[in-house]
Structure 1
Amino acid sequence: MNAFEILAISQDLSSLTYFIGALIMALPLPVYGLKRWGPRMIVDGIYASILVNLYESFLTLMENLGNMLGVNWAYYMNWIYQLLLGELEVYTTIKTIYSVAISAPYSGFNPFLATIGLLLSMISGFMSVTGTIIVISQLILNYSGLIISLGILLMSLPFRIGRSIGGSMIAFGIVFYLGLPLLPNFLSSFGVNILQQGFSQSELNSISGLATIVIPAYIEGTVLMPLAYIGILTSITLGLGSAISGSYSRLPIPVDFL
């Protein structure tokens, strides 16, 4: 099912919502708890129909804003895969050092083994965070239009069943499509873009260099600052989602697992 098929269903649901509201208004029952839904659903039906017709305008707006902001998805995806490759190279280096250390005589008494094992665990964590961001990026790049159309579909449901999550999905598709590719620029502005930091071979091949220079740089450039940036995008998404839905909103995906 593509986005336009979903929009066709959304249009039908918005009409259904409108007519249910009109029917409630026409009921000869002076029950306030029921009657108050009449005008709400009429307005909701009209609003959802407007959103359906604005779908292509959303996509055009995203493209225009992206051009203004300098959004370049091809560059961004290449950058983040290069970042993952750099993490893998550091992991391989540490793994090699660990293999040499553990094969040495009396390795059981080597005080550096625990440190090397800790560094391996940290790099594995960095790669997990980067891999998760890659998954989210691929989702947004390939399905942002579908996510927005699903949000409109949820907004069209009667009795505001999916209004909150629907507004969030629309905002999520827009904000993350525009915001994620700007992550390298954000990191560069703070001087923590790992791909712009050259590490010497002596730093990469020594425990002291890894522990005091390389790993701290990766903590800042691949975990702390990227998560802070995603937190900013999340806040913008929640605000825009609340504005679209007119109620409390939440992200359609959990971000606390990062």
Structure 2
Amino acid sequence: MKRAEILQALQATMQAYIQQQWPQLLSEVAAELIEQADRASSTHDARVMFDARATWLAFDTELHSAWLVHLQRLLDRSLVTAFRRERRRFNQAPRHNLSLRDLADVEQELALERRIANFRSEAGTTLSNLNARIANLYHQTESAERENPFRPYVICGSLALGISELDLLEDVSEVLQKAAANRLSTRVIDLYQQLNAQLESFGIPVKLPAQGRSRSEKKSSKSRALQPIDSPTVTATIPTALAAQASQLPRSDLLLRWI
């Protein structure tokens, strides 16, 4: 099979898996929000949990549809940019003073990064194996999560964007995003196992070929490597760059800009 056909098959598997898991995810998130409300330290926090649960159940169809739309959008973009070098660096973004709204947007992105890190932890070696197989599919000698079109960032980012479309109160939206991501993260290892098995069936190995470059060439290449939004090494550089963009772009375009 050609690379494009393999990627289309993987994309179909991911989308079908999310479709299949949605009913159970809907139920589990609702149950988790009830438990969180029972453990809440204040009446206000409990009310936020109950409001989040009511919203989650009342708008389940809209949430599901919005999530799938944004998942498709991020997947399409990721498939286009995989192993391409012309992405912008964060330090190329214009710098401005941070407003209170900018800081709120930055905090949302940092919260998203924490959820991505949780997905990464839950996935374990299934993610690193998938990264390696994707690199082999592109005939690369080095793997990188950033180049994997099916990485946690795409799943978490699309879910966050889907929930954001409801235009909820900030605290309710954040509670929903966190609870939904927590429940979804327990399934990511199963999803990545399926994608790995599918790639293996297509003859794509997990072992990368020996690299032909010298150590100095590798070091030079690494020094030029781009730092993505979903890389675990760039958390400290996120605020200034994202804040500079946040006042000019809607959040969905902001996430796409760095994918």
TM-score by length of 2: 0.31
Larger Rg: 1
Larger RCO, structure (CA 8 Å, separation 6 or more): 2
